[in-house]
Amino acid sequence: MAVGQCDFPTMHPVKGIKLGTCNAGIKQTQRDDILVIAMAEGGSCAAVFTQNAFCAAPVLIAREHLTLEPRWLLVNSGNANAGTGKQGLQDAFASCAALASEVDGIAQQVLPFSTGVIGEPLPVAKLTAALPAAVANLAETHWDRAARAIMTTDTFAKGVSMVVEIGGESVTITGISKGAGMIQPNMATMLGFIATDAVIEQSLLQRCLSVAVEKSFNRISVDGDTSTNDACVLLASGYSDAPEVLADTPEYMAFAEAVSAVCKRLAELIIRDGEGATKLIRIVVEQAQSAAEAVQVAKTIAHSPLVKTAFFASDPNWGRILAAVGRAGVEDMELERVEIYLGTVCIVENGGRSPGYTEQDGQRVMGQEEITVTVRLGRGLVREEVLTCDFSYDYVKINAEYRT
């Protein structure tokens, strides 16, 4: 059950980008599980990938193909093709080759992506047999179908779309993502696909995506687990009438800000759909010496099962938050300078419980669906925010039964 209102929005088509889906029956037959995204010739592509050492076979192939002017993305849900060794690499490339033969391209122009159960062989025969149907229904308007085709334990499809003005002309940025568990990205999200019609060269597009990801997908955590398959892709077709986006210009700043806004919204939707989540928690760390220090403190709180279960129970057990801050590894922290807040309620100051704090005030905040925890370290001027959710009974149930 999602936290808050998460209706699928109106998605603006992106000129030069088409999407097609179908069902291959990889794990289920109730909905589509194959997605093909096609970009017109002449566009550019940027991507970031998981930092998990046991990264999936499609991640390895996609990294290699990214340097070869890719034009097609091939995504399957229901099987991660991770932990599958050399056979997994062969299967991922065979899938690329199969799509290439359908679209009159070459395998190296295809980036493969998979999500689902780890350790099972990819059913290549099922996937390739379904590709003609996916290619046949390629259309610029199929963003809603695409968002559903990449889902696994997600309870709703996740999408964001916006139109911004650059140089007096409209530029569209539209994206989808999937993810609900195994979320603690060290690069992006479980899977995210964003497209724009902006005119921008590849290295600048890559810079834009990397910066956006760092402040969005790298600032969320459901359970502290980094997936083997995380990937986020930004395609730019170049079909807009807007002037080319160039580095260090007002146009680049406007474009980069819009891409970041799309990434942040997609990241937030993942947390709102965290497996078994009943609450969205914003952890804000202020007055840190560096961004790394602030994120370190925030993620220590976000990853604490004791903190997360207290939020599920609406229990203002603030000592758990205090303990997480204390073990975050901040060197030479002056405890008397640290302040901790639940919403606007100060719970810790001057090294202990705030004199004005009452259990009733804490309970009032903890009963809310969306909660902000603010930690002021009293060490500097840096502020960072991390989004997380609570741990409920359903999280355990969902993951205990994931393969059944």
Domain stop point among 251, 272, 293? 272
User: Which among 338, 337, 354 has a CA at the least distance from the CA of 346?
Assistant: 354
- Please list the ranges in the chain whose pLDDT falls under 50: 187-189
Looking at residue 189, its pLDDT comes to: 41
- Please report the pLDDT score of residue 402 as a whole number: 60
Residue at 2 is within a domain:
no
Provide the pLDDT for residue 216.
93
Instruction: Judge if 284 and 221 occupy the same domain.
Output: no
Does 189 qualify as catalytic in the annotation? yes
| Shared-domain flag, residues 30 and 47 | yes
Q: Which of 208, 240, 272 is the last residue of a domain?
A: 272
What is the rounded CA–CA span in Å between residue 261 and residue 255?
10
Residues 321 and 223 in one domain: no
Q: Do residue 296 and residue 174 come from a single domain?
A: no
Note whether residue 227 is domain-resident.
Answer: yes
Q: What CA–CA distance (Å, rounded) separates 38 from 45?
A: 11
Q: Tell which residue, 180, 147, 225, has the closest CA to residue 3.
A: 180
What count of Cα atoms within 13 Å lies in the side-chain half-sphere of residue 29? 2
Tell me what pLDDT residue 180 has: 66
| Residue 7 counted as domain residue | no
What CATH number does residue 25 fall under?
3.60.70.12
Tally of structural domains, the chain: 2
Q: Are 266 and 293 in a shared domain? A: no
* 30 found inside a domain: yes
In the prediction, which pLDDT does 188 show? 39
Cα 146 from Cα 15, distance rounded (Å)? 16
The answer on 320 and 262 residing in a single domain is no
- Of 272, 293, 324, the one marking the end of a domain is 272
Condensed to tens digits (0 to 9), the pLDDT of residues 312-365 reads 999 999 999 999 999 999 999 999 999 999 999 999 999 999 999 999 999 999
Q: Which of 50, 189, 226, 300 is catalytic?
A: 189
CB under 8 Å to 208, separation ≥6 — which residues?
46, 200, 234, 252, 255, 256, 259
In this prediction, residue 226 carries a pLDDT of: 62
Domain identity same for 258 and 289 = no
Q: Domain range spanning residue 121?
A: 17-272
DSSP string, 379-401: S-SEEEEEEEE---HHHHHHHHT
Whole-prediction pTM value? 0.92
Q: Are residues 327 and 298 in the same domain?
A: yes
How many angstroms from the chain centroid is the CA of residue 229? 12
| Domain contains 9 | no
- Cα–Cα distances in angstroms (integers) from residue 256 to residues 129, 198, 247, in the given order: 39, 11, 10
User: Considering the domain boundaries, does residue 376 fall inside one?
Assistant: yes
> Is 165 found in the same domain as 64?
yes
Same domain assignment for residues 241 and 328: no
- The confidence score (pLDDT) of residue 187 equals 38
CATH of the domain at 368: 3.10.20.340
Q: How far apart are CA 395 and CA 391, in angstroms?
A: 6
Task: Encode pLDDT of 186-227 as tens digits.
Answer: 533 469 999 999 999 999 999 999 999 999 998 988 766 666
Q: Give the pLDDT confidence score for residue 190 in this predicted structure.
A: 67
Is there a single domain that holds both residue 293 and residue 162?
no
**116 domain residue, yes or no:** yes
| 3-state secondary structure at position 258 | helix
Tell me the residue type at 55. C
Looking at residue 273, its pLDDT comes to: 87
Asked whether residue 129 is assigned to any structural domain, the reply reads: yes
Residue 223: per-residue pLDDT:
65
Residues 113 and 220 both lie in one domain: yes
Residue indicated by tokens 């009974």? 393
